[in-house]
Structures are given as C-alpha cells and as structure tokens.
Amino acid sequence: MYNTALGYLQNVEESEEITQDVFLTVFNKACSFKGNSKVSTWIYRITINKSLNQLEKRNRRPTSDRELKEHYKIDFEHPGVLLEHKEKSKYLFAVIDTLAEKQKTAFILSYVENLPRQEVADIMNTSLKSVESLLQRAKSNLKKKLISIYPEGNKKK
C-alpha cells in the first residue's frame, strides 16, 4: 500500500497518511467485502482511489514540458531505487506524475509494483489487452517527455 501510494504521490508524509487511511478503511469495511475479487485487488483499488483523491486535492499537474521543468520540483527519490539510478529516477517520477490517470495506474502497478499484467487488469477492472495498450501509450508518452526534460536525454551515445 505504502509503495503504491508513494508511486502516485511522490511524498513520504502523504504516502504514510494514505497508508494509515487505507488500513482504517480496510478494517472498517472488511465486513462489506463481497469476495468478488482477491483481497489484495480490493486493497489496491482502495489505495489507488485514495492516492488519486489526494492528487486531485493538490491539483498540481503541469500542463506543458516547460511548466514541468520550471514549476515541478524534480527531487523525489523513491526509496526502492538503487543509488546509482537515483538521479534518473527523479526525472522518471516527475514525468510519471504527468501521465493520464489510467496510464499512470497501469504503469505504477506494472513497473513500480511489479505486479503481473492480469492482476493489474483485475485491479483496474479492465481487460488484459486494455492494460497492454495503456502501458504502450504510457511508455511512449514517458519517452517523449523524458527526452525533452532529462539533460542526458538528448545526447547520442
């Protein structure tokens, strides 16, 4: 739960609060769980919804690459990223935050949480084909934006 919230919010304190809120929600609503999905799927949905709600409250999504560079703090370091990849991950997480909601969800669950694609489809209540399509669009959008903002992105090797 914490890692998923952190992938969305890119803020340790907010992610901790969301995690606590998810635990309380699961505890308070456990008897209303119908068993139509796995418990983990239900918990992921709660976490994602609470994270998205928190992002809406912030209403800080940049609208252009220029705004991303100028107004978005590119300083979030995910604790699960290896030290030698910390600098690159700052740019990646800044750009992940600009993805459309469904692309962002598919990307975080697939590549940050490393969940199987079918489980991602179950959590998102969609088809496996739809998840694959969302991931393709997300990767394409990430590539375009990373090339425009990452200082090393325009250098040919």
Model confidence pLDDT, tens digit, residues 7-58: 888 888 999 999 999 999 999 999 999 888 899 999 999 999 999 999 888 7
- Asked whether 124 and 105 are in contact (CB, 8 A), the reply is yes
Q: Measuring CA to CA, how many Å separate 58 from each of 52, 53, 130?
A: 10, 9, 28
pLDDT in tens, 130-145: 999 999 999 999 988 8
- Show the domains of the chain with their CATH numbers: 2-149 (1.20.140.160)
Report pTM: 0.66
